[in-house]
Amino acid sequence: MNVFIDNKRGAPIYDQIYSQIKAQIINGELKEDEALPSIRNLAKDLRISVITTKRAYDELEREGFIYTLPAKGCFVAPKNVELLREESLKKIEEYMQKIAQLAVSCGLSKEEVVEMFMMNWEE
Task: Give residues in contact with other proteins (CB under 8 A).
Answer: 7, 10, 12-14, 40-41, 44, 47-52, 55
The 3-state secondary structure of the chain, one letter per residue: CCCCCCCCCCCCHHHHHHHHHHHHHHCCCCCCCCECCCHHHHHHHHCCCHHHHHHHHHHHHHCCCEEEECCCEEEECCCCHHHHHHHHHHHHHHHHHHHHHHHHHCCCCHHHHHHHHHHHHHC
Q: Please, which residue, 16 or 24, has the CB nearer to other proteins? A: 16
Looking at the Cβ atoms of 44 and 85, the one nearer to other proteins is 44
Least Å distance, CB 32 to other proteins, is: 28
Is residue 38 within 8 A of residue 72, CB to CB? The reply is: no
Q: How far is the CB of 10 from other proteins (least distance, A)?
A: 6
Given the complex with other proteins, which of 43 and 76 has the nearer CB atom?
43
For other proteins, the closer of residues 80 and 97 by Cβ is 97
Minimum distance, C-beta of residue 121 to other proteins, in the bound complex (Å): 31
Residue 52: CB minimum distance to other proteins, A: 5
